[in-house]
Structure 1
Amino acid sequence: MTERMVTSGTARLWSEDHGDPGAPPVLLISGDCQSALFWPDEVVTALVGGGFHVIRYDHRDTGRSTHRDFAANPYTFDDLTADAIAVLDAWDVGAAHVVAFSMGAGLAQLLAVDHPHRMLSQTLICTHALGIDFADNVARALAGEPSRDGLPLPESRVFEALELHAGPSADRSAELDRRVEGWRIMAGDAFDPAEFRRREERVIDHTGTLHQSIAHGYVTEGIATRGADLARITAPTLVVQAPLDPISPPPHGRHLAESIPGAALVEIPGMGHALTGAALDALLPAILAHLRR
């Protein structure tokens, strides 16, 4: 494993790689407000064992990457997409398989549309299509209003329970309790609190602070108007639908897969908006099969 700091505009991004640099590259893109360590080591180990060179990185405002006040230093989804390109450039990767989760899978869609030569394939996990106005959907869910597009809204209980705008807890144990409870709400079946407590322990150690940035929640530009562009995607695409996902509930995955030419859809039974150990047992073989195709 090698660590590398990457410059993207005015941001510095922490990244690391695993496996043989000569093997086919896989770029892991985390969800919103999640560092590289969102991806459990089981994912990295399986991909390296499958013959791939794995790169993961901290989004800006997460982990060991640049942290700034968003109001004074705003950015867009296009900027976050440029961050992914900067990571590929820093690791001398011309094109990669992209495996992405939630907001990261939105960035992957932008990569596939705007930088098709940088993508070998994409795996889009627990997300919605370009063209979906997620910020408006959240507002509608909290207000008890119906969806504009006929697709289900996120479940308001998620945002109410997580108290997205609350600061960090007073001590490490309380902060871990808060984060684990947040994952419990999102994770679906077979949730193991000890598993997620261990993961969040590592995230806090990696970041060096109890504070968990919510900056990505303020990013609104770059996705909601791009729906028609999905028809131009040529990268082989696997869409993963989690039937118990409270953020992008079914049939968001099917809608996304039907919007991308030739995309395949797989549903992972019992999965919510999290990478539980139980979900990985079914998810990892599906990802590896897609990458090998």
Structure 2
Amino acid sequence: MPVNGIHMCVETFGEPIDPPLLLLAADASSMDWWDDEFCRRLAAGRRFVIRYDHRDTGRSTSYPAGALAYSGADLMCDAVGVLDALRVPAAHLVGFSLGGALAQRIAVHHPSRVLSLTLMSTSVDGEAPGDAPLTLGGPVAVSAGTVTAGVRTVEAPPATDETDWSNRRSAVARMVDEVRARGGPFTPEEPHLRRLAERVFDRSADLAATRLNHRLAGYGPPVRDLLGGIDTPTVVLHGTLDRQIAPGHPQALARCIPGARLVWLDGVGHEPPPRAVWAQVLTEILALAA
């Protein structure tokens, strides 16, 4: 569908008469990373579920590597534009990683469009107080009062990306390795991840360009000092084994947004919610999006 002068690929689940719920994916991630069955279960809870490909991912408009004609602020506006195109005045926002950062910015700059916020595996701007950097393959220290599950040892992909992203086998193998490196004991098994990565590859125009361009686009202007003005119901969900965004970040985020609750997902890494915690995550989302 046309959105902000570009083409955006959008998919919906459920009935438009139900409360709308917009899913915002991570950076360089198409809608495919929101599991089909997860979306159907949200819709079964009488929600009108909307997922979409960010620009430069999936079937949405793509750009040559390094020649992006957009910024992180445009990615935020695209999400609002999807709601406009579907004639949805306001929605419950569920954002993972970059999607959570975009959801924060929508709540700050377009508060009338937001009914609630579910912020998953995301962060406030900048460094969280007291947080030491964490490496992809190492253990994570979780704050007091949480349960620490065992860390599955997975070798992280090399920092220098020599992947041939135009080659299906090479690209799929790299995506699977990255998901497993960021995940935990509940991360789906390799056959499932491989099928998902194959679907992502088949629906993408140029994965190398996507990854570079989204890095260059960034998140948009900082909003940390503006989060105190958010008055929408908010829950922050964060995995106890997230080795990409350390635990001080969700703690700081929950402190910045008035009334926000922080809920730990035990044994979960930096990944869209694995099936093992669907019951917990679905309960939190549906309760907030009532």
Which whole-Å CA distance do the structure 1 matches of 2:134 and 2:82 have between them? 31
CA distance in 2 between partners of 1:281 and 1:73 (Å): 39
Query: Residue deviations 1:176-218, cap 9 Å, x none?
Result: 2221111110011222222211211222233366657212111
Work out which of the residue numbers 130, 136, 145 in structure 2 matches 1:150.
130
Q: Secondary structure at the match of 1:120?
A: strand
- 1:114 correspondence with 2:109: yes
Q: Deviations over 1:30-79 (max 9, x none)?
A: 00000011100122111100000011110011000111135333422211
Question: Aligned match of 2:269 in 268, 272, 289?
Answer: 272
Tell me the equivalent position of 2:146.
none
Where does structure 2 lack aligned partners over 5 or more consecutive residues? Answer: 139-154
State yes or no: 1:178 paired with 2:168: no
Counterpart AA for 1:118: R
Please give the secondary structure, in 2, of the residue aligned with 1:161.
Answer: coil
Give the number of the structure with larger relative contact order, counting CA–CA contacts within 8 Å between residues 6 or more apart. 2
Query: What is the 5 A alignment of 1:76-155?
Result: 76-129=71-124, 131-132=125-126, 149-155=129-135
Secondary structure of the residue aligned to 2:22 is strand
2:100–2:119 CA contact under 8 A, matched in 1: yes
Matches of 1:90 and 1:207 in 2, distance apart?
23
In structure 2, which of residues 1, 7, 22 is the aligned counterpart of residue 12 of structure 1?
7
Cα distance, 1:222–1:175 mapped onto 2, change above 3 Å: closer
* Map of 1:282 onto structure 2: 280
Secondary structure of the structure 1 residue equivalent to 2:210: coil
Aligned to 1:196: 193
Structure 2: distance between partners of 1:164 and 1:66 = 27
What are the Cα deviations for residues 115-167 of structure 1, in whole angstroms up to 9, with x where unaligned? 000010010000001x32xxxxxxxxxxxxxx685323352559972547444
TM-score w.r.t. structure 2 length? 0.86
State the TM-score, normalizing by the size of structure 1: 0.85
* Separation in 2, partners of 1:24, 1:247: 32
Contact 1:28 1:98 in 2 (8 A): yes
1:242 to 232, 239, 243: 239
Change (3 A) 1:43 1:164: farther
> Aligned AA for 1:193?
E
Please name the residue that 2:26 is paired with.
Answer: 31
Q: Residue type matched to 1:265 in 2? A: L
Structure 2 counterpart SS, 1:257 = helix
One-letter amino acid of the counterpart of residue 176, structure 2: V
RMSD: 2.3
* 8 A Cα contact 1:95 1:118, kept in partner: yes
The AA in structure 1 aligned to 2:26 is G
Q: Which moved more, 1:34-43 or 1:277-286?
A: 277-286
Q: Structure 1: how far apart are the matches of 2:201 and 2:66? A: 24
- Secondary structure at the aligned position of 2:92 is classed as strand
**Unmatched tracts of structure 1, length 5 or more:** 133-146
